[in-house]
Structure 1
Amino acid sequence: MHMAHEMMLGKDIFGHRFQADQECKIKKYNFKKPDKFSKDQIRTISIIHETFARLSTSTLSAMLRSLALIHVAAVDQLTYEEFIRSVPNPTCLGIVNMNPLKGMAVLEIDPSLTCAIIDRLLGGRGDGATTGREYSEIEMGLIEGVLIRLLGGLREAWTPVFNLAPLLGQIETNPQFAQIVPPTEMVVLISLEAKIGEAEGMINFCVPYITIEAIMSRLTAVYMYSTVKRKANVSEVAPDLMFDIKSEALVCVSGERISLERIGALKKGDRIRLPEWKDGGAFIRSGGVPVLNLTRQARPDSQGLEFSVEPPVITKLEFLESQKAPPEADLQRIEEPLIKMSDEIRRGFESLQKKMSELSSWQESVADQLEYGGPPTEIPEHRTGGRRPFAVVTRDNVDWLASVIGVEHPQLIGMILSFLSSDLASDVIGRLPESIRPDIIKRIGTIERIAPHVIQEVERTLEKKMRAMPMEEVMRSGGIDTAVGILNYATRSIEKQIIEYLEDDDPELAEEIKRRMFVFEDIVLLQPEGIPKIYHEAGPQQFAVAMKGIIHEVHDHIFKCLNEEDLEELKSELEQTKPMRLSDVETVQQTVVSIIRRLEQSGEIIVARADEKLV
């Protein structure tokens, strides 16, 4: 009974030819992860992307002026969720529109490779160090240019199978924001192993099954190589070269349309009407197809025939083909020039839009300056015929520039500073974090050639940021100088209360405010009897150094407050002092100011305020 049940179950599964003693090989099948691509299709995809790897090697080597080695490491099919989980965050994800197919794909570049590419584009050595931070707007603009160039190679690699026209849609850094298909959708993942200089990493191209489902039948080696062979047999030739080809040709005139029955009944001497002969129409046929139109010329002697040649019927050697190409091949020959023309038109429009945007921004800037005043702005580079890069950076906006580029890639900072004047670059680097200053100087010293389009992209983004930020208001408001100015006009009780609070809460800020509230030149605010006390506390030598470089009014005021003995001693010290660095003089002045504040706090001297009267 049990054996009969097994036989019935086996017949239900394997059919009526199943026998009980027949051995069967059972293959496991995962319904959650079905195989959508056959081995032949996987092999064809691998061949296509080997071509893409070779083209990408040439493209990146030329762009980065460094040897790039790229090859296909693996081609696998998996779910889209598995691919997204394997991608680091942040990374560089290019969302690609697979025109004319209805769907998208993802081109992902490993972070170490991305940093190396950015470093090389900016004139660095291409180290692959990564900080795990988000990419800046400037870096995203540079990577966008690289992805567009790589997609050009992808289009060429797919040509034997399909006239693909991939277009970069957007760039994401978080894999969770790149949900182009459901998580369970099957994809084919082409992993390219790349080495640029010393940096190594992966370039992954993820194509969902649903995107290329319409052309799955073409993903076979037989179709790919047959397409290549057909295209190799059909080549463009100039019309005048066609006459150099030796081929049998017939001059023909179109006759009337007759049935097969009448053709079978034709005999010698029967006549067939030639409707076009009266109008002089004729053509030359070679290889079974018309190649040239002719017009018969009338001759008075009625001896012989004379024809004039019209424009050629075809411009391809189609008549050399052994058999007519299938309609699909004809369609591809029509699509290819149309796609190329579409790409050229698109690139032309993008270039035109970029130039119009630059001119529009310049016009807006000029309009603002005419209305609100301000220095003239340089017009775009393509209008001026060339100018020094980053001319927009001036002494007035170094604080803003330091705050913007302080979080950028060190190579980018070094590239920008290398185009500034030495004094301006020194001012900017002094405002950057101490930890990155040595690395920036090292990169400036080893910087290499930089492509003009890279400089223009960085400059364009900086100018865009500058236009979007109201720098004048930011630079002229707030800061320690403003706080010092307020406290200088405050009453002594308010000043004391605020300074005491700051000394407990932020000692460094309190010390900086106290240092700026009273400078050495403010010694004129002291009572005359207070200056000799300060002179004796500081000593003649130190006081003489502090007086170097001060204005004559302060100089004369000090001389008037000293007695004859102290005055002679001070003048003698002034004559003996040698030239010194300004920074050393300022240090001594701060020492004297500290003595003044100490004596004021002890009540030994009084500093007069603007709102106070001494009685």
Structure 2
Amino acid sequence: MTGRSMKFDPEAWLRDDVEAEWALTRDRQQAAALPGGTARETKRGIAASEQSGIDAIINAGFVSERLPMLDVVFDRLVRLMTASLRSLTSDTIEVSIEAVSSVRFGAFLNDMPLPSLIGVAHAHEWDNSALLVVRPELAFAVVDVLLGGRRGVPPAHIGRPGFTAIETKLVERLIGVVLSALGEAFAPLAQVGFTLDRIETNPRFAGIARPTSAAVNARFRIEMDERGGLVDLVIPHATLEPIRALLLQRFTGETLGRDSLWERHLVSELHRASVDVEAVLGEQQMTLADIMAFKPGQTLLFGTREDQPITLRCGGRTVGHGQMGRSGHQLAVRLTDRDTDKPGKAFRLRGED
């Protein structure tokens, strides 16, 4: 026995205990995956069964931030994409939103189906990037449509490992149209232009953000006469940071997404709407007993002189005053005061003299 005293170190004891616990958990996961022999590996080469450790801890603190105005932008994007893709394909196009969610950027790349065409877009005004992922079903459907494929026949290229240069160029046209529509969708909030920087087929080369960074994933379904598929728009929160305050606002019907054609139609219909205008010669308060005692031939005195202006009312609100007169065989009122109209305009009353 040595004469040196043993000093207890609580930090070292806790560190050794945590390392032992992690090692035991890892051994159990590996042992559970061995009998089946089908342990799945992600695109980063990490076994899926081993991601429940540190990834679970990281994702436990992941709280998605609600951006109300972003939903309005995506709804506007659907309308713009429908019109733009109809011009591109000369075919019937239906675009709908499948889902809008917050994801980890690395988790999205891991779950991406292959082969997919990944368009890396650059937002010049925000000096950042976004991803537009065209899934294989949609990519081959677009190629068939642009090359004049028969309608109603699904594409038969899904089993191929990748895309040719011609197919990539054709899908690039689709990506360009969607990015142009995306810039127009953001226009009511901020002026931004998205341009295609490059197209990747390997998710490892599409890393525009850290794997743990939060991002918004908007998934759209594009149907072209019984052919189509999904396209994913991935925008990191760092890209949206310049307009984050605007996206946090709640949409209450202001100018965002206004439809000028509908506004003009509504204004024209309102101007043609018929309303009743009353010319009030006089008013007097009476008791209910006096009103119930009315008899034919009874004279009611209102205390109004002949030259006293009368009141014009519409919908219970006073809209002006005027003088009673005659125009032909009809009673008329000449407007004497009205802030929004020129004095001297005559309003004819219903009925004849």
TM-score by length of 1: 0.31
Change (3 A) 1:231 1:54: closer
Amino acid at match of 2:198: Q
Q: Specify which of 93, 116, 121 is matched with residue 91 of structure 1.
A: 116
Aligned match of 1:151: 179
Aligned match of 2:155: 128
Q: Deviations over 1:411-468 (max 9, x none)?
A: xxxxxxxxxxxxxxxxxxxxxxxxxxxxxxxxxxxxxxxxxxxxxxxxxxxxxxxxxx
1:32 aligns with 2:59: yes
Aligned match of 2:84: 59
Compute the RMSD of aligned alpha carbons.
2.5
Aligned match of 1:118: 143
Higher helix share: 1
**Contact 1:128/1:200 (8 A) holds in 2:** no
Amino acid at match of 2:176: I
CA displacement at 1:200 relative to structure 2 = 3.5
Higher strand share: 2
Aligned ranges for residues 197-212 of structure 1 at < 5 Å?
197-212=225-240
Change (3 A) 1:208 1:36: farther
Aligned match of 1:80: 105
Aligned ranges for residues 368-383 of structure 1 at < 5 Å?
none
CA displacement at 1:222 relative to structure 2 = 3.9
Q: Deviations over 1:544-570 (max 9, x none)?
A: xxxxxxxxxxxxxxxxxxxxxxxxxxx
CA displacement at 1:167 relative to structure 2 = 0.7
Amino acid at match of 1:63: L
Aligned match of 2:278: none
Amino acid at match of 1:204: D
CA displacement at 1:229 relative to structure 2 = 9.3
CA displacement at 1:218 relative to structure 2 = 0.6
Change (3 A) 1:102 1:203: same
CA displacement at 1:101 relative to structure 2 = 0.6
Q: Deviations over 1:471-495 (max 9, x none)?
A: xxxxxxxxxxxxxxxxxxxxxxxxx
**Contact 1:33/1:78 (8 A) holds in 2:** no
Change (3 A) 1:86 1:64: same
Give the Cα–Cα distance (whole angstroms) in 2 for the partners of residues 160 and 192 of structure 1. 21
CA displacement at 1:231 relative to structure 2 = 12
Aligned match of 1:401: none
**Contact 1:46/1:72 (8 A) holds in 2:** no
Aligned match of 2:189: 161
**Contact 2:95/2:221 (8 A) holds in 1:** yes
Amino acid at match of 1:189: N
**Contact 1:194/1:201 (8 A) holds in 2:** yes
Aligned match of 1:191: 219
Amino acid at match of 2:113: P
Give the Cα–Cα distance (whole angstroms) in 1 for the partners of residues 58 and 116 of structure 2. 31
Give the Cα–Cα distance (whole angstroms) in 2 for the partners of residues 35 and 44 of structure 1. 21
> Where in structure 2 are there 5+ consecutive unaligned residues?
1-55, 261-353
CA displacement at 1:214 relative to structure 2 = 2.0
CA displacement at 1:168 relative to structure 2 = 0.6
Amino acid at match of 1:185: S
Give the Cα–Cα distance (whole angstroms) in 2 for the partners of residues 97 and 85 of structure 1. 22
**Contact 2:222/2:230 (8 A) holds in 1:** yes
Q: Secondary structure at the match of 2:197?
A: strand
Identity of aligned residues (%): 26
Amino acid at match of 2:221: E
**Contact 1:191/1:203 (8 A) holds in 2:** yes
Q: Deviations over 1:153-172 (max 9, x none)?
A: 11111112111111110011
CA displacement at 1:131 relative to structure 2 = 2.8
Aligned residues between the structures = 202
Q: Secondary structure at the match of 1:32?
A: helix
Change (3 A) 1:230 1:151: closer
Give the Cα–Cα distance (whole angstroms) in 2 for the partners of residues 220 and 231 of structure 1. 23
1:108 aligns with 2:136: no
Aligned match of 2:271: none
> Where in structure 1 are there 5+ consecutive unaligned residues?
1-28, 233-615
Aligned match of 1:217: 245
Q: Deviations over 1:169-216 (max 9, x none)?
A: 001112222111111111110011222222242111000011111211
**Contact 1:161/1:224 (8 A) holds in 2:** no
TM-score by length of 2: 0.53
Aligned ranges for residues 596-611 of structure 1 at < 5 Å?
none
Q: Secondary structure at the match of 1:128?
A: coil
Q: Secondary structure at the match of 2:59?
A: coil
**Contact 1:46/1:190 (8 A) holds in 2:** no
Give the Cα–Cα distance (whole angstroms) in 1 for the partners of residues 180 and 109 of structure 2. 25
Give the Cα–Cα distance (whole angstroms) in 1 for the partners of residues 185 and 252 of structure 2. 11
Give the Cα–Cα distance (whole angstroms) in 2 for the partners of residues 104 and 154 of structure 1. 13
Aligned ranges for residues 225-240 of structure 1 at < 5 Å?
225-228=253-256
**Contact 2:69/2:250 (8 A) holds in 1:** no
Change (3 A) 1:208 1:71: same
CA displacement at 1:151 relative to structure 2 = 1.2
Amino acid at match of 1:128: P
Q: Deviations over 1:305-339 (max 9, x none)?
A: xxxxxxxxxxxxxxxxxxxxxxxxxxxxxxxxxxx
Give the Cα–Cα distance (whole angstroms) in 2 for the partners of residues 231 and 125 of structure 1. 36
CA displacement at 1:226 relative to structure 2 = 3.9
CA displacement at 1:31 relative to structure 2 = 5.2
Q: Deviations over 1:269-288 (max 9, x none)?
A: xxxxxxxxxxxxxxxxxxxx
CA displacement at 1:132 relative to structure 2 = 2.8
Change (3 A) 1:152 1:230: closer
Could you say which structure has the greater relative contact order, defined with CA pairs below 8 angstroms and 6 or more residues apart?
Answer: 2
CA displacement at 1:80 relative to structure 2 = 0.5
Q: Deviations over 1:50-83 (max 9, x none)?
A: 1111211222222212212111111100101111
Aligned ranges for residues 567-606 of structure 1 at < 5 Å?
none
Amino acid at match of 2:137: S
**Contact 1:218/1:224 (8 A) holds in 2:** no
Amino acid at match of 1:192: F
Give the Cα–Cα distance (whole angstroms) in 2 for the partners of residues 150 and 229 of structure 1. 18
